[in-house]
Structure 1
Amino acid sequence: MKKDQQIFGIRAIIEAIQSGTVIDKVFIQKDVQGDLMKELMKVMKQKSINFSYVPVEKLNRFTSNNHQGAVATISPIGFVEIENLIENVIDSGKKPFFLILDQLSDARNFGAIIRTAECTGVDGIIIQKQGSAPVNGDTVKTSAGAVFNIPICKVDHIKDAIFHLQASGIKTVAATEKTDQNIYNISLNEPVAIIMGSEDRGINPSVLKIVDEKAKLPMFGTIGSLNVSVACGAFLYETVRQRS
């Protein structure tokens, strides 16, 4: 983590959040308590800031300064509101093409997906505030800078984003092996949002219940799954193929 992309110290992080600094994630030492930490937790929850508990050794690797049990990463980008994202794309006259990532957690996978999404003309990426991969130096590097060229939206809940897209006339398609439907047999040549799941759990079952369609990639080898960034690329380029 670059020094200019981090804030350390509980009070400093509280003030940064309250001043409107775009915080991507806060790392909290597992066993730290006290009134100031309670205040930080309250402020983070009010602002829906992504955080996780980590051992002190991880914080010490971030900084040699007195971090007081808390280190925050500053996002290198700003985030857009989902209402504005959808409205702007529809108003532009383009056929909407969105990507939803359901709690993808690896920053390098995230960066690789952003790169592919930018190359395939995705209009915006939607992620959840809690549990999603951070937008950090690794994300920027593996995206080859594409993170600066595509709108990214953070939402409180993926299901709410799906309902919003559906109400706007955008079909939601979940990439999952829990279906008999092949990706090559469904229509993607229409307003669409592709949904990809996390590396270990896939798409949340509650999300699968509300999507318009489910689709999978055909698998012919002995290994039963693909890396999520590879699978995402296949889904995005099938959308491009159908629209070409």
Structure 2
Amino acid sequence: MERKNRPAVKSLPLLIGRKPIMEALESGAAMEKIFMLRSATGPEINTIKTLARNLNIPVSQVPVEKLDNLTKSQHQGVVAWASLLNYIDLQAGISHIVEQGQTPLFVLLDGITDVRNVGAIARSALCCGAQALILPTSHAASLTEEAVKASAGALHKILLCRIPSVPQAVDVLKLNGIQILGTQMKGSVPVYDADMTIPSCIVMGAEDTGISKDVLKRADVLIRIPMVTAFDSLNVSVATGMILYEAAKQRILEHK
């Protein structure tokens, strides 16, 4: 994991110091992540935490060695990665899609931390007609240049919705009448039998653990990709593409 994460540190511009980061947050600047010294205190630190929480920007409490590795400048206990991309509030994203007269098709990433997988998923999502990716602020990949490259630019064209937690995202989606399609190798419904012509959100989980237990409980349908052989391990980005293609096929056929 460390080997994969190293290039990401170099691929995002840095904001350094309490006042510059606080002012950037107050201006609404997009940020990918804030690293804060565990022992940092003071009114500016409190303001940064509040603004970050309101803007759904992840804050990671770290030891001083982490900050020193990010920059040789006087960081005052806080460093931020400026974002290469823009994010939108989930409810705003849902409202925008509905107002455009489109039927929502979203992808919610639950624990996917590999930037190349996220990029590949964004590429498939855009090609198959999904309008948005939903990303939690914790246990999620930072969208670096590597992710943008893997997406072939799709991350600049698809809506990116960031929300504090996956269960909270599920609750917001369900309140808006969007069905939750959880993915599981032992899901009860083959992907081709799930109705994806209605407003839907496909939840994709981490390759090692799958989607979280909270999401399994909240899902309206648990779908699976039937396999021809007993070898049932698919890369998460490949699996997402297969499911999204089924969604696209159903929606195309519906309008013929």
User: Partner residue of 1:142?
Assistant: 150
CA contact (8 A) 2:36 2:77 kept: yes
Shift of 1:37: 8.3
User: Partner residue of 2:195?
Assistant: 187
SS at 1:130's partner residue?
coil
Q: Could you state the TM-score of these two structures normalised by the residue count of structure 2? A: 0.81
Q: Could you state the TM-score of these two structures normalised by the residue count of structure 1? A: 0.85
Q: Which moved more, 1:44-53 or 1:98-107?
A: 44-53
Shift of the 95–225 alpha-carbon distance from structure 1 to 2, 3 Å rule, reads same
**CA distances 1:12-51 after superposition (whole Å, capped 9, x unpaired):** 3233223322111123456x54547853545544544202
Structure 2 gaps, min length 5? 1-8
Does 2:82 align with 1:80? Answer: no
What number of residue pairs does the alignment pair up? 243
Does 2:231 align with 1:213? Answer: no
SS at 1:196's partner residue?
strand
User: Partners of 1:42 and 1:94 in 2: how far apart?
Assistant: 34
User: Partner residue of 1:104?
Assistant: 112
User: Partners of 1:3 and 1:69 in 2: how far apart?
Assistant: 21
CA contact (8 A) 2:112 2:206 kept: yes
SS at 2:79's partner residue?
strand
What is the alpha-carbon root mean square deviation over aligned residues? 2.7
Which of the residues 198, 203, 225 maps onto 2:206? 198
In the TM superposition, 1:2-13 aligns within 5 A as 5-13=13-21
| 4+ long deviations beyond 6 Å | none
Structure 1 gaps, min length 5? none
Shift of the 222–94 alpha-carbon distance from structure 1 to 2, 3 Å rule, reads same
User: Partners of 1:231 and 1:163 in 2: how far apart?
Assistant: 24
SS at 1:225's partner residue?
coil
Does 2:129 align with 1:121? Answer: yes
CA contact (8 A) 2:111 2:139 kept: yes
CA contact (8 A) 2:40 2:77 kept: no
Q: Which moved more, 1:69-78 or 1:54-63?
A: 54-63
User: Partners of 1:174 and 1:4 in 2: how far apart?
Assistant: 32
User: Partners of 1:224 and 1:66 in 2: how far apart?
Assistant: 50
SS at 2:218's partner residue?
coil
SS at 2:185's partner residue?
coil
User: Partner residue of 2:59?
Assistant: 51
CA contact (8 A) 1:50 1:131 kept: no
